[in-house]
Structure 1
Amino acid sequence: MKTSKEINIDKKNQFGAEILCIGSEILLGNIVNTNSQWIAEQLAILGIPHFRQTVIGDNPARLKEAILESSNRSQILITTGGLGPTPDDITTKIIADAFNTPLQQRNNILMDLKNKMKNKYSKLSESQKKQSLLPKGAKIINNYSGTAPGIIWSPKDNFTIITFPGVPSELKEMWRKEASNWLINNNFSKKIISSKVLHFAGISESLLADKIPHLLKANNPTVATYASTGEVKIRITAKGESLEETNRSIKPIEKELTKLTGLKCFGVDNTTLEEVVIKLLLSRKETIAVAESCTGGGIGSKLTKIPGSSKIFYGGVIAYNNSIKQDILEVPEEIINTHGAVSKQVVEAMAKGVQKKFKASWAISVSGIAGPTGGSKLKPVGLVNFCIKGPKTLITWEERFGSNKTREDIQKLSVLNALDRLRLSIIMEN
């Protein structure tokens, strides 16, 4: 009869990797764990299946237990965090202890640490020197922008540990320059997996899925929908022997999706709505100004994040108080008194006022009730009015995002809705 340990070892015949993120700050919610997501994407690109992600605090016993459990069920364990000079950086020591292996000081790491010191005449502290202690037989992954190196180490047959610091920028650089090549050269990388993400606005996930039921059933490439606040994404994922093969598989699916959805699709991969708007305005040599109330400058903030936006973005007015709407944007007091600050009449006057003041080709305005208080039966929380004024365009509309949304969600939805309608208005204007 097999023991539980023998059964676990048998299960390890299934090829796979797992990710272990180390740090009490992750468990406490002090930082967002973006490392797991990024590593998972890189494993998919290399065609390495991964089936588990774990977060462990800075506890030696629990960390050791997690490492040993992984060694009995996976071929690759990728860890992040716990490699620095502070007392809670325990990863390397616990890994060595788990496999009864001594730590050895690496002089080349000591030299690297010394070279990275601001004062070349200072001595390394004992805590800094700790970073040069690695398990006997481990390969070094150089840290190009930080101090803590990683390791690639196989402490037992069919099991390899790859460690990285928790700083995302350091991890990514170390992966790209060394770790990914090692995985490829040691035949861990199997079939290539690549993907493309299409971004959609102005359509719900369910309506989008209804348009493509035949594509959602496909096996290779696979097609999947993902919803986030104000946007829907479709990820097309293909598996093949080469990047060229996967790209050839993705292309006809992408073409069919854009044909079925038309202007609802605004970009691919990392494209954002604000980036599309900026490019459209730059191509037309036109400019824009904004007048914002409930979004508090959110539209202007999005636009100015894009390099080159200074060529087309003239500025804006955050007209949160009615006196600002009247005094700066020249919204007539009688319109506010008659229709209320949250109305189509007021946002139209705001758009005309900011366009005139900044002498911009385009203007967009927004006023709404972001909540959680301030709503009424006629004008509930979540009601937002918009106006776009262009060279030949003048449109006003309202959205009711719902009183069940948070203030932040209503503001975000308002910004994205405004940018999407602005995109469509620029495209449609001859």
Structure 2
Amino acid sequence: MAAEIICVGTELLLGDILNSNAQFLAQQLAALGIPHYYQTVVGDNPTRLCRVIQTAIDRGAELLIFTGGLGPTPDDLTCETLAQFFDAPLIEDPEIVADIAQKYAQRGRVMNPTNRKQALIPQGAMVLPNPAGTAPGIIWQPRPSVTLLTFPGVPSEMQRMWRETAIPYLQSQGWGKSIIYSRTLKFWGIPESELAQKVRDYFDLTNPTVAPYAGKGEVKLRISAQAPSLETAQALIAPVEANLREMGGMYCYGADEETLASVVGQLLQARGQTLSVAESCTGGGLGQMITAIAGSSSYFTGGAIAYDNSVKIRCLQVNPEDLATWGAVSATVAQQMARGVQQLLSTHWGLSITGIAGPDGGTEEKPVGLVYIGLAKPNGTVESFAHQFGHNQDRSAIRHLSACGALDHLRRELLTSVAIAEVST
């Protein structure tokens, strides 16, 4: 029994509204273990909507979930089109009329006559109540092999209706007897093709399955299992996850909702150590990533946005002669920035970034995307790392990659120094 999501609205096709409803419903179907292979977005056009419905049925969908097109305006045609497609009359439901009138009265307003359109539902359909808005949905089985659920396009209304009414209904009808559970491993510093080559044999698994994804400098491996219970699904995934983590080695930095910033924070907290940052081309982006983590004040002291060279000199004690000789984008300056902020704010670690984010300012010797990351350690040593992030990347991407790259260098050092300490003891 497969489901299909059909989102109705010309505004979605034009890109005026982000289609978050499809994402939410896809996640919910997975949690219920309901197979779902297609999503469609169609404009407010009854002819095209009828074609979409027929296509979904032809490819075996038995549960059709619609969002949008339930309002009072002339272009809200979902229920009307469904009734036309399945050759059923529209009838006005007096309970819906009363509910809409009551909601208007609670707001000190009188129901507009056009709102009565929202009370028209196909004969034989059940009302899917909308506690938060005026547009109800329907639950309808126009054919023995087809079940329809309709929801308004407003995400908050749709989500509440799904949780309060749709899920209990589907479960009562035998849908959702298993669950699909996923874990997503995250990797930094390794190309997608290289990681795929390392783990290629795992792509042939059927339950659990493994699939790669790439974006914003990182690679992800999603492991999904279908099972009667969460515990069983987790048990299926656990050995595969352990093997993939081992194969990924230091490139694997976390899973699911973890970020490089949150992982670094956990490592710093575990060691009782503090961090400060000095930024040039990222303009505060690194500090923003760190402070986005709740509780980061326990290990993050602060930082300096040393955009102009005068700030590097006055605040971070960067040597003016080194700036003149090597330039602001150099290993020497990155090291001095890291050491300078470490000393300025008396932290265990100092992390710096200096580079050319573009689109201008690059030269043949120092092209756009050249970034140096400095790392001052508690033992008094300072390192720097050169990166070229400019390959087909815009300014925003270079800044993002620079901040993430800096966090990754600190993460690796924290893990490596802990391992060394454990061996020496």
> Which of 6, 17, 20 pairs up with 2:6?
20
Contact 2:49 2:81 in 1 (8 A): yes
Question: In the alignment, which residue of structure 2 is the partner of 1:48?
Answer: 34
Q: CA deviation at 1:111?
A: 5.5
Give the aligned residue type for 2:284. G
8 Å Cα contact 1:380/1:403 also seen in 2:
no
**TM-score computed with the length of structure 1 as normaliser:** 0.87
Displacement of 1:221 in angstroms is 1.8
1:362 equivalent in alignment to 2:360: no
What corresponds to 1:310 in structure 2?
A: 297
Q: Does 1:428 find its partner at 2:416?
A: yes
Equivalent residue for 2:397? Answer: 409
* C-alpha contact (below 8 Å) 2:104/2:110 kept by paired residues: no
Query: Following superposition of structure 1 onto structure 2, how do residues 98-177 of structure 1 map, counting pairs within 5 Å?
Result: 98-110=85-97, 113=100, 120-177=107-164
2:220 to 195, 217, 233: 233
Match of 1:382 in 2: 369
CA distance in 2, matches of 1:351, 1:329: 8
Please state whether the residue corresponding to 1:328 is helix, strand or coil: helix
User: 1:119/1:175 Cα in 2 relative to 1: closer, same or farther (>3 Å)?
Assistant: closer
Q: Distance in 2 between matches of 1:415 and 1:26?
A: 33
How far, CA to CA, are the matches of 1:362 and 1:87 in structure 2? 62
- Is 1:243 aligned to 2:239, yes or no? no
1:18 maps to a residue whose letter is E
Deviation per CA, 1:376-419: give whole Å up to 9, x if none. 12111111110122323532101112332222221221122112
- Match of 2:273, SS state, is coil
Change (3 A) 1:208 1:102: same
Q: Of the candidates 385, 389, 412, which is equivalent to residue 397 of structure 1? A: 385
Greater than 6 Å deviation, 4+ residue runs: none
Query: Does 1:267 find its partner at 2:263?
Result: no
For structure 2, the residue ranges without an aligned partner over 5 or more in a row are 419-425
Aligned-residue offset at 1:132: 3.9
Q: Per the alignment, do residues 172 and 119 of structure 1 end up closer, same or farther by CA in structure 2, a change over 3 Å counting?
A: closer
Q: Choose 90-99 or 367-376, whichever is displaced more.
A: 90-99
Q: Which residue of 1 aligns with 2:244?
A: 257
- Per the alignment, in what secondary structure is the counterpart of residue 274 of structure 1? helix
Question: Once the 2 structures are TM-superposed, how far is the Cα of residue 253 of structure 1 from its aligned partner?
Answer: 0.9
1:57 aligns with 2:43: yes
CA–CA separation in structure 1 for the residues paired with 2:95 and 2:270: 53
- Residues 1:37 and 2:60 are matched in the alignment: no
Cα distance, 1:20–1:378 mapped onto 2, change above 3 Å = same
Q: Matched residue of 1:84: which SS? A: coil
Conserved? CA contact 2:291–2:297, under 8 Å? yes
Partner Cα separation in structure 1 for residue 159 and residue 67 of structure 2: 11
Q: How many residue pairs are counted as aligned between the two chains? A: 416
Using the aligned pairs only, state the percent identity.
Answer: 47
Letter in 2 for 1:61: T
